[in-house]
A and B are shown apart, each in its own frame.
Chain A
Amino acid sequence: NAGVTQTPKFRILKIGQSMTLQCTQDMNHNYMYWYRQDPGMGLKLIYYSVGAGITDKGEVPNGYNVSRSTTEDFPLRLELAAPSQTSVYFCASSPRILRGNQPQHFGDGTRLSIL
């Protein structure tokens, strides 16, 4: 039972480089989310998707892009990495939600450092 799988687990980037954080889920969930977690802070929503082909901005979308071509996959793209994007990134998914009654399932995270 894989759940939500994120790759890579760790990555170091140089300023200005680009990369894609991968996220896939095998629970056939419609909703998927990307969060970032900074030290001593809670998680902040970057982008979310309510289904294939549909994405929307969260609280902190600047510097990121997403796509959702399939139900299973929700990659997060950093085009020009900046030190402020050093963080731990979590992908999550949940079923179609009725009044928020369904909890989100989280991946193990990607620890990203921009130097």
Chain B
Amino acid sequence: GNSVTQMEGPVTLSEEAFLTINCTYTATGYPSLFWYVQYPGEGLQLLLKATKADDKGSNKGFEATYRKETTSFHLEKGSVQVSDSAVYFCALDSGGGADGLTFGKGTHLIIQP
């Protein structure tokens, strides 16, 4: 079956530091890949996505590249801010569409001023 593995948290960084959150996946076929962000007390919001190999998703300074050869979709940001503190979820959609997303366990990111 499908699965998503993310690095364990919490991840604590200082403001303006470089961020990488690792995500690898197992899936049949050609999944679409997503990063969602969850701020305290809120639902999940789509941060970025990629639908085929070598696609790069980007939004709000975050980037992730769909690497089929390494089955990875690592999230990066060059300079984090305190407002980036949240839980980040990597997810995949296997393409069947109807049966929902497969999520990783989430990575809690804490940015200190």
User: Which residues of A pack against B, CB within 8 Å?
Assistant: 4, 31, 33, 35, 40-45, 48, 50, 56, 58, 90, 92, 97-101, 103-109
Contact = CB atoms under 8 A, between A and B. Distances in A.
Contacts of A45: 99-101
B104 A101 contact: no
B10 to A, nearest CB: 11
Contacts of B103: 42-44
A97 B98 contact: yes
Interface string B74-106: 000000000000000101011111111101111
**B interface, by DSSP: helix, strand, loop or mixed?**
loop
B31 A100 contact: yes
Nearest to A3: B43
B42 A108 contact: yes
B22 interface: no
B100 A100 contact: no
A106 B45 contact: yes
B51 interface: yes
B100 A33 contact: yes
B34 to A, nearest CB: 6
B98 A43 contact: no
Given A42-B89, A101-B32, A103-B49, A31 B101 contact: no
B99 A58 contact: yes
Contacts of A40: 105-106
A91 to B, nearest CB: 9
Contacts of A4: 43
Most buried by B among A100, A104, A108: A100
B21 interface: no
A104 B98 contact: no
B4 A90 contact: no
Contacts of B17: none
